[in-house]
Amino acid sequence: MNDDAGNPFAELLEEYVAECAPLAEAVGDTLVTLERRWEEGDPADQLFGTLKGSLHTLKGNSAMMGLTAIQALAHCMEDVCAFLGERPDLRPSASGLLLRGAGVLVEMVGRAARGPLSADRSEAFISEAREFIQTESVGAEVSAPYPERRRFERRTGSEVGELGADGVVSTIRVDARRLDGLLETFGETMIAGLGLREAVRDLAVHHRGAGFTDLEHALTSLEKTLKRLEGALMATRLVSIATVFGRFNLLVREVANAHEKRVRLVTSGGETQLDKTVIDRLGEPLVHLVTNAVIHGLESPEDRERAGKPAEATVTLSATQRSDRVILTVTDDGRGLDPERILHKARQLGAVAADATPSREEVFAMAFLPGLSTTERVSALAGRGVGLDVVANSIRTLGGSIEVASEPGKGTKFTMSLPLTLAVLRSLLVAVDGERYAVPLGDVAESLRVTNEAIHEVDGHGMMFWRGQVIPVSDAAEVLGGRAARSSRTYCVVVRSGAKRRGMLVDGLLGHQDVVVKALDPSLGRPPTISGATILGDGRIACILDTARFAELRTTEAATPSLS
Amino acid sequence: MNNVKQELKLTARDSLLTFADDVAQKGGAVRAEEAEPERHLVIFGLDREEFGIPIARAREIVRVPEITRVPQAPPHIRGVMNLRGRILPVVEIRTRFGLERAELTPRSRVVVVEAHGRMVGILVDVVSQVVKIGESAIVPPPDEVVSQRADYVSNVARVGPRLIILIELDKALLLENVSTPAPLLS
């Protein structure tokens, strides 16, 4: 079932990490909560018990794998906990120590499958912890090492839970690659279904009668079943976003401590579910946004008090589902972005003309331009000067969009919109210059018929009135085909990305279709306006338009080079 | 030399091999000596020149399907094609070899090869044959062939009066360069 089947130990190690990494993260998470509760004078005994249980399981599992350094670390943390069990008065002062231990634990467990572990950091922690216990135990005897009370049984291979008499939901563990394979096969089935539908449509011109009607009914029923199958398949891939949010308590605490900030992390909507592929690739951009917020977005406690804000800053991570998209936000109540500085830097980079006067939204959108958001101050935790453009790229490759809003002195809010699934896309098919393109339906504000007179030329840019506002218009053939604009296109698709709208002139509207998204081969480079491709019912390929990029295209004339 | 002048009509790789075996059985294969090690090559034509790649690299040879243009793709990419549900890039190898873009004719073919672990289609003017060539017929390329092509020409094979240029597929396709993402930040 696994490529590593030849090395059963490697497989076991991977399973160990899969099982224990969340556990170690939970230890850190619990500790952050405990620290707060202890400071408030609440002993939080029940939560403390949970912590001890997790540590014990980690110790046992690590021992089973012969990971002695992790075993010793978990054991030592248990010792500290046992000591604190007898000395509730010491709990608030020991939380920092335990949190350092949790940090080391998360790191070591995460690295366990990638070769031998160095015990330097765990040993440093252990001696620190011993010293703490010795200093604080005034004559009291140090707790004896925990006896092995339970045997831990390793679970191997795919494990099928049984539906017990108590009605517990049974679960089965499946290699994620099998699910991916299933999804791919489903995609091919859907394309075959589209082909069938097209063939039936062609036949319909010449054939009528009972037999044909039966065929149509059968096909319709097949399509409905496929739709349900899609839903069921997607459901197997949904993971709640809490698995990603879970890492942030510890991270925020570490980053805040290292930069002498006081930060409270608030998360909401952790139960929101997203496709596993999206979840897996979401962690990194979120880490960048959150660390950036803490390091650069938040003021020092003193500055905050001077500004009349609470000394403790708040960073909020939230997720909500809105129809077939998930909206994620990262909000801080820090100093906010400085539009003047962004504009100044954008001018330096030549991304905006010196005399242009972009709106505030347009200026904030420039924060995602390459090279703009890199701060001079580079810290180990914020990464190696990773800019917002990298974050925006990761979000875009997930079929998402990102925008930022900010109020100087009040804070900054990043809003990301992500598709629930990457596999199937509801789209509008359009014809441009003899090719067909799929436009993600979620980004289509309206499609309409237009006449030449409706398009006005302002400074060489097409503009039109749409719902009471002036929006830019581009000829799709010119953007996609690099050809000179023709003015005879009769349809306009208004696409949106955040607050931006752009009209796209096309030759024809070919209707709505669910398409199966396929990635483009890397040898095709990264076409800026194309996000992927799909196979249509007739077997031909259509490219999928990257609407966000298209809408942002040439906001100002000078911004063009940075998008190519 | 007793060359096989049969146009290749078969598509799947297995069929290709069967074809080659047939040829061998009929005694039509190009052989220098009985016991000499041989190379199994697919020969295709571009303009007036003939090129060869190891048959092991060719997965399929297909008639030119509908090719969809990809906006803003690199110049040596003709577009993408659908091979039984997979979307493959089609490389315009002529431009890589300093020739004009191909005019599609009924003889044009796409040779599907595996390069860098991925499947890629190569658009060629014609696929002439599959041959077995003895190692002794394979020699380093003469200067007039090399000139600007040194990086992707590995050797040449002399088959009677014909000169077949053996190409280093991975280099000729240039995929490595192209797939390198642009630097994100200075």
- Mark yes or no for CB contact A390/B88 under 8 Å: no
Q: Residue A50: what pLDDT?
A: 86
Lowest mean pLDDT among A277-291, A362-376, B114-128: A362-376
Rounded to two decimals, what is the model's pTM? 0.58
Strands B138-139 and A411-419: unpaired
Lowest mean pLDDT among A111-125, A340-354, B23-37, B153-167: B23-37
Q: Residue A374: phi, psi to the nearest 5?
A: -70, 125
- Mark yes or no for CB contact B185/A390 under 8 Å: yes
* DSSP state letters, A136-174: H-SSPPPPPPPP--SPPPPP-SS-B----TT-PPP-B--
- CB nearest A533 (choices: B80, B120, B173): B80
Residue A147, token pair as written in the block:
């006896």
Q: Residue A412: what pLDDT?
A: 92
Whole-angstrom Cα distance, residue B29 to residue A401? 59
- Mark yes or no for CB contact A385/B185 under 8 Å: yes
| A429, β-bridge pairs | A438, A511
The predicted model gives A402-414 an average pLDDT of: 90
Whole-angstrom Cα distance, residue A241 to residue A218? 39
Q: Residue A216: phi, psi to the nearest 5?
A: -65, -40
Closest of A358, A208, A389, A375 to residue A296, by C-alpha: A375
Closest of A515, A369, A480, A546 to residue B73, by C-alpha: A480
Q: Chain A: residue nearest B73 by CA? A: A524
Neighbours of A562 (CB within 10 A): 17
Whole-angstrom Cα distance, residue A348 to residue B143? 50
**SS3 of residue B36 by DSSP:** coil
**SS3 of residue A353 by DSSP:** coil
Q: Which conformational region is residue A511 in: left (phi greater than 0), alpha (psi within -120 to 50 degrees), or beta?
A: left
Lowest mean pLDDT among A8-17, A399-408, A486-495, B32-41: B32-41
- CB nearest B184 (choices: A390, A480, A564): A390
- Mark yes or no for CB contact B77/A389 under 8 Å: no
Lowest mean pLDDT among A138-147, A223-232, A382-391: A138-147
* Distance from the Cα of residue A267 to its chain's centroid: 15
- CB nearest B85 (choices: A191, A530, A542): A191
| A418, β-bridge pairs | A326
Q: Residue A9: what pLDDT?
A: 73
Q: Which conformational region is residue A459 in: left (phi greater than 0), alpha (psi within -120 to 50 degrees), or beta?
A: left
Answer whether residue A319 shows pLDDT above 90. Answer: yes
Contact indicator for A360, A348 with CB cutoff of 8 Å: no
Q: Residue B121: what pLDDT?
A: 94
Q: Is the dihedral of CA A9, A10, A13, A19 positive or negative?
A: negative
Closest of A329, A186, A205 to residue A266, by C-alpha: A329
**SS3 of residue A527 by DSSP:** coil
Q: Residue A160: what pLDDT?
A: 38
| A75, β-bridge pairs | none
Is residue A166 packed enough to be buried (19+ CB in 10 Å), middle (13-18) or exposed (0-12)? Answer: exposed
Q: With bands split at pLDDT 50, 70 and 90, how would you rate the model's confidence at B29?
A: very low
Q: Supply the mean pLDDT for chain A.
A: 80
Question: How many Å lie between the alpha carbon of B121 and the closest alpha carbon of chain A?
Answer: 11
Chain A hits for B87, CB-CB cut-off 8 Å, are 518, 520-521, 533, 535, 541
Chain A hits for B182, CB-CB cut-off 8 Å, are 526
Express each pLDDT in A141-180 by its tens digit.
444 343 333 333 333 333 334 444 455 557 787 887 888 8
Which one of A391, A396, A436, A524 would you mutate to disrupt binding with B, by most B Cβ within 10 Å of its Cβ?
A: A524
Kindly list the distances between the CA atom of residue A50 and the CA atoms of A23, A62, A292, B56, in Å, as whole numbers in the listed order: 11, 18, 32, 59
- Please list the alpha-helical segments (H only) found in A65-203: 68-86, 91-111, 120-136, 176-203
Residue A17, token pair as written in the block:
């990490």
Whole-angstrom Cα distance, residue A375 to residue A372? 8
CB burial of B52-84 (b: ≥16 within 10 Å; e: otherwise) equals bbebeebbbbbebbebbbbbbbbebbbbbbbbe
Angle A56-A61-A67 (CA atoms, 0-180°, nearest 5)? Answer: 110
Contacts of A150 (CB under 8 A, 6+ apart): A56, A60
**SS3 of residue A232 by DSSP:** helix
- CB nearest B89 (choices: A524, A526, A530): A524
**SS3 of residue B129 by DSSP:** strand
Q: Residue A158: what pLDDT?
A: 34
Contact indicator for A430, A436 with CB cutoff of 8 Å: yes
- Mark yes or no for CB contact A524/B88 under 8 Å: no
Closest of A217, A523, A228, A275 to residue A420, by C-alpha: A275
Q: With bands split at pLDDT 50, 70 and 90, how would you rate the model's confidence at A314?
A: very high
Rg of chain A over all Cα atoms, to the nearest angstrom? 28
Q: Which residues of B touch A (CB under 8 A)?
A: 66, 68-74, 77, 80-82, 85, 87-89, 91, 118, 120, 173, 175, 178-179, 181-182, 184-186
Q: Chain A: residue nearest B71 by CA? A: A480
Is residue B30 packed enough to be buried (19+ CB in 10 Å), middle (13-18) or exposed (0-12)? Answer: buried
Q: With bands split at pLDDT 50, 70 and 90, how would you rate the model's confidence at A562?
A: very low
Rg of chain B over all Cα atoms, to the nearest angstrom? 17
The predicted model gives A359-387 an average pLDDT of: 63
Answer whether residue B6 shows pLDDT above 50. Answer: no
Whole-angstrom Cα distance, residue A540 to residue B67? 8
The predicted model gives A21-32 an average pLDDT of: 87
Q: Chain B: residue nearest A391 by CA? A: B184
Which one of A388, A429, A541 would you mutate to disrupt binding with B, by most B Cβ within 10 Å of its Cβ?
A: A541
Express each pLDDT in A441-453 by its tens digit.
888 999 999 888 8
The predicted model gives A181-190 an average pLDDT of: 84
Helix (H) or strand (E) holding A542: strand A541-545
Express each pLDDT in A71-99 by its tens digit.
899 989 988 888 888 888 888 888 888 88
Contact indicator for A195, A539 with CB cutoff of 8 Å: yes
Question: How many Å lie between the alpha carbon of B59 and the closest alpha carbon of chain A?
Answer: 17
Contact indicator for A170, A160 with CB cutoff of 8 Å: yes
* DSSP state letters, A399-467: T-EEEEEEETTTEEEEEEEEES-SSEEEEEEEEETTEEEEEEGGGEEEEEE--GGG-EEETTEEEEEET
Output A54 or A155, whichever has higher pLDDT.
Answer: A54
Chain A hits for B173, CB-CB cut-off 8 Å, are 523
Express each pLDDT in B81-113 by its tens digit.
998 888 999 998 888 777 888 788 999 999 999
- Please list the alpha-helical segments (H only) found in B55-167: 93-96, 143-146
Answer whether residue B131 shows pLDDT above 70. Answer: yes
- Mark yes or no for CB contact B66/A541 under 8 Å: yes
Amino acid identity for residue A321 in this structure: Q
Chain B hits for A518, CB-CB cut-off 8 Å, are 87
Q: Position of tokens 């135990």?
A: A137
- Mark yes or no for CB contact B184/A542 under 8 Å: no
Q: Which conformational region is residue A167 in: left (phi greater than 0), alpha (psi within -120 to 50 degrees), or beta?
A: left
What is the interface pTM, i.e. ipTM, of the complex?
Answer: 0.71
* Distance from the Cα of residue A150 to its chain's centroid: 38
Closest of B61, B159, B84 to residue A184, by C-alpha: B84
* Distance from the Cα of residue B126 to its chain's centroid: 10
Work out the end-to-end distance of chain A between its first and last CA atoms, rounded to an integer number of angstroms: 43
Contact indicator for A412, A334 with CB cutoff of 8 Å: yes
Answer whether residue A374 shows pLDDT above 60. Answer: no
Output A198 or A544, whichever has higher pLDDT.
Answer: A544
Whole-angstrom Cα distance, residue A537 to residue A265? 48
Work out the end-to-end distance of chain B between its first and last CA atoms, rounded to an integer number of angstroms: 59
Provide the CB-side half-sphere exposure for A169 (13 A, CA).
2
